[in-house]
Structure 1
Amino acid sequence: MTRLSPDEQAPVLAAVGAAIDALGGGFTVRYVTMAVTAERTAGPGVCGQADAPRRTQG
């Protein structure tokens, strides 16, 4: 549907709406939402490189 232009979407959405109305006007969709969080701890850095102090020349 997202690849259709608004003019192409309109008749499809109208037909879907009419079909839903003919079946009582509503439907139930079951879904689950999951949230995942993480905390970075000391350990390997990006790409497996160890986090090490940087040395400066001086």
Structure 2
Amino acid sequence: MNDKKVFGSLRVVAGCALMGAILSGAFLSWVDVPGDIRSYGAVLGAVAGIYAKVAHVL
């Protein structure tokens, strides 16, 4: 993989993490959890982005 593909993949994962944080903050802000709900959404979004990139490669 060249640098352009690596940074493109990282951009997709970061974008999914951002969308996960935004959506969890917008729709689940009423949930009382230890820590910030947006951080959980960012982790779930990043995992979804990694899965999307791996599934696209395979």
TM-score normalised per structure 1: 0.32
Larger Rg: 1
Q: Which has the higher contact order (CA 8 A, sep 6+)?
A: 2
Q: Per residue, is there more helix in 1 or in 2?
A: 2
TM-score normalised per structure 2: 0.32
